[in-house]
A = this chain, B = another copy of it.
Amino acid sequence: MKTVNVGLIGFGVVGSGVARLLTRQRELLARRLGADLVLKKVADLDLDRPRPVTLDKAILTPRARDILDDPDIHIVVELMGGLSPAQEYLLAAIERGKHVVTANKALLAHHGNDILSAAAARGLEVAFEAAVCGGVPILLALRQGLAANRIQEMLGILNGTCNYILTQMSQFGKPYREALAEAQAQGYAEADPTLDVEGIDTAHKLAILMSLAYGARLDLDAVAVEGISALDPLDMQFAQEFGYRFKLLAITRDDGHRVEARVHPTLIPTEHMLAKVGGAMNAVYLTGDAVGPILLYGQGAGMMPTASAVVSDIMDLARNLIHGVRGRVPPLGSHNALESTRLIKPLNDLVTNYYFRFAARDRPGVLSQISGALGKQGISIAAVIQKGREVAGTVPIVMITHEAREQDVRHALAEIDRLEVVQPPTVYYRIEDPHLHAAQI
């Protein structure tokens, strides 16, 4: 039986999971692969930490170089995280003719094009299934399973931390701070949660998904990002009254000419499959022109789910090694992806449905002044809730709009926020509801 040798840089949580799968599941993997996968070396600066897997000490090293310079290692797996020196190690591995696997979404989103170019120039493969949605095979679906489709839209819950916090807020009415503390206590959020809660991690993943969906270069700058840290449980309650739930969604949509690319808290109908995605789970809901709507759902993080994706990548590259084939499926799904770009629709040109919450002073004529300002921008109202409960001297008026243009919304809200009867700033969110045009609510 043939042997494929693997070197692992980064022996943390996910690295331990990969080591565990490669050792414990070795026989099963060999049956499926038709070859023996051998974990030949593991590099980490801290080798003394207790880990959930015990490896032969002879294969451990504190020097990444021992892996990069080992001519017998065919596949290098980078699981350190962070931009540097992860990038240098990946490029060094490619320079030495090795295929590489990484789960590093931040690195890919920022420097993926360079890494992919370097690998392409040498006919080497870069695999990164674990970078998006952990063990859920979403990249495989885009690169192969749905390859006959033009991807028309994708809505993703790509960050378990945010989804956990939002689930806590909406189920138990907890304020953001408390839900975040709970997520930290449960190990779902880091001490500095910025990357997660400000939507940055979700944007990294959306940039990767878009590249695969459209067969174009990675373009992180194209993604408009808003996080969840300013969300008020009050808006979650109102959303619920309208039949919606809040999710931090990554959204992309192709109108044939330009593509949307945005990450923000979004109201989706309670009966939408994505609304059922609770806790720290991830999901992607996408529509292909042939296949129609598809949902993929699973754990987006964690030791073993992420390791599952890393090992499936290792097996994919190993299959190519065994059969002496290169470039069978391009990493971004299209052969000319690195030379292609997509035109991005600026957020101001977005046309969608909106949720507004005005803090109105309880005086006659408030509603007419607000709706007047909206009307001037051509924004029409689909539903209103005005409730008596006074919050800090004002009464909330909540509206759902018909389709409107983001720029018009911003102009209207700027005018409304200058009204004496309204206390600024007005809160607004975007809605994803395919039925809102048809069924007037």
Contact = CB atoms under 8 A, between A and B. Distances in A.
Contacts of A32: 147, 215, 330, 333-335
A295 B299 CA distance: 10
B312 A148 contact: yes
A297 B32 CA distance: 25
A339 to B, nearest CB: 11
B325 A304 contact: no
A174 interface: no
Given A21-B148, A144-B315, A296-B296, 8 more contacts: A136-B294, A149-B308, A273-B297, A276-B276, A290-B307, A291-B299, A292-B305, A295-B297
Interface of A: 17, 21, 25, 28-29, 31-34, 129, 134-137, 140-141, 144-150, 215, 273, 276, 283, 288-299, 302, 304-305, 307-309, 311-312, 315-316, 319-320, 323-330, 333-336
A334 B295 CA distance: 27
Contacts of A334: 31-32
A336 B276 contact: no
Contacts of A21: 148, 290
A298 B308 contact: no
Nearest to A292: B299
A273 B298 CA distance: 11
Contact of A319 (B25, B28, B329): B329
B144 A140 contact: yes
Contacts of A325: 323-325, 328
A365 to B, nearest CB: 45
A291 B283 CA distance: 14
A140 B147 contact: no
